[in-house]
């Protein structure tokens, strides 16, 4: 079963959002044009409580993009984004969601961040996505969305470590930091993760 996982195509990650991914809106027509090529389409949403530990506003004296230690690991402090029930947390209105069979929400625990579609950043809590996919007998996954260098990458990494074959659809994704992502792409290729264009589907 050919399976697509669309990561966090939400208003707050658009150019006018609170945590804008450069040109993030440009992936929407690409995704809309390719969803019919998949047997199963899943999506994720960042879905944070207002008091989420990753928000700089919840740390006195700290600014957006400062890095602190959290649970023994570096944690970037972000602008408030994708707060539960807000317009910023909604999917972009032009994204075709009618083929989404399921939506997995992440970052719901206020005490730990969750970039990946599969686990929180400390691997303390699973979203249940691995079990969902394995119950359906799925072995191969295609990924796209926002941001390519953060939530998409960490989702692919966890999927790979859970035993799935992974393909990254580059033109259906945008990175927050393109320079950093060039290195990340090399790491993915070294691991055996395929990188394709939507035209190759």
Q: What is the CATH number of the domain that holds 42?
A: 3.40.50.850
Q: Give the mean model confidence (pLDDT) for residues 193-199.
A: 97
Instruction: Tell me, yes or no, whether 98 lies in a domain.
Output: yes
Q: Which residues are catalytic?
A: 8, 106, 151
Q: 18 in a domain, yes or no?
A: yes
Residue 84 lies in a domain: no
Instruction: Compute the C-alpha angle 96/108/106, nearest 5°.
Output: 45
Task: Determine, yes or no, domain membership for 75.
Answer: no
pLDDT at 72: 86
Look at residue 64 and tell me if it is in a domain: no
Cα atoms in the Cβ-side hemisphere of radius 13 Å centred on 130:
17
Task: Work out the average pLDDT over 27-35.
Answer: 98
The parent domain of residue 26 ranges over 3-47+91-200
Token pair for 69: 């230690």
Q: Which of 96, 61, 75, 77 is nearest to 19 (CA)?
A: 77
The dihedral built from the CA positions of residue 183, 72, 108 and 142, taken in this order, carries a sign that is positive
78: in domain: no
- 71 pLDDT band (50/70/90 cuts)? confident
Q: What is the pLDDT of residue 73?
A: 87
Share of residues in the chain with pLDDT > 70 (%) = 100
Instruction: Write out pLDDT tens, residues 131-158.
Output: 999 999 999 999 999 999 999 999 999 9
Has residue 38 been placed in a domain? yes
Task: Please say if the pLDDT value at position 97 is more than 90.
Answer: yes
Residue 23 lies in a domain: yes
Q: How many domains does the chain have?
A: 1
Q: Does 124 have pLDDT greater than 90?
A: no
Among candidate residues 115, 28, 127, 113, the one with its CA nearest the CA of residue 71: 113
**Percent of the chain at pLDDT exceeding 90:** 96
């Amino acid at each position: 079963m050919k399976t697509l996982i669309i990561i966090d195509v939400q208003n707050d990650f658009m150019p006018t959002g609170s945590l804008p991914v450069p040109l993030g809106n440009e992936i929407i027509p690409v995704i809309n044009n390719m969803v019919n090529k998949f047997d199963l389409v899943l999506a994720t949403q960042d879905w944070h409580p207002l008091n989420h530990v990753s928000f700089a506003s919840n740390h006195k004296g700290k600014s957006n993009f400062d890095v602190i230690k959290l649970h023994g690991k570096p944690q970037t402090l972000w602008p408030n984004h994708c707060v539960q029930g807000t317009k910023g947390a909604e999917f972009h209105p032009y994204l075709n969601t009618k083929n989404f069979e399921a939506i997995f929400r992440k970052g719901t625990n206020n005490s730990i961040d969750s970039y990946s579609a599969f686990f929180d950043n400390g691997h303390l809590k699973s979203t249940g996505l691995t079990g969902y996919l394995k119950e359906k007998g799925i072995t191969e996954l295609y990924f796209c969305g926002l941001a390519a260098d953060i939530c998409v990458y960490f989702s692919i990494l966890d999927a790979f470590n859970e035993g799935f074959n992974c393909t990254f659809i580059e033109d259906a994704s945008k990175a927050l930091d393109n320079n950093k992502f060039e290195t990340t792409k090399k790491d993915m290729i070294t691991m055996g993760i395929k990188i394709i264009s939507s035209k190759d589907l």
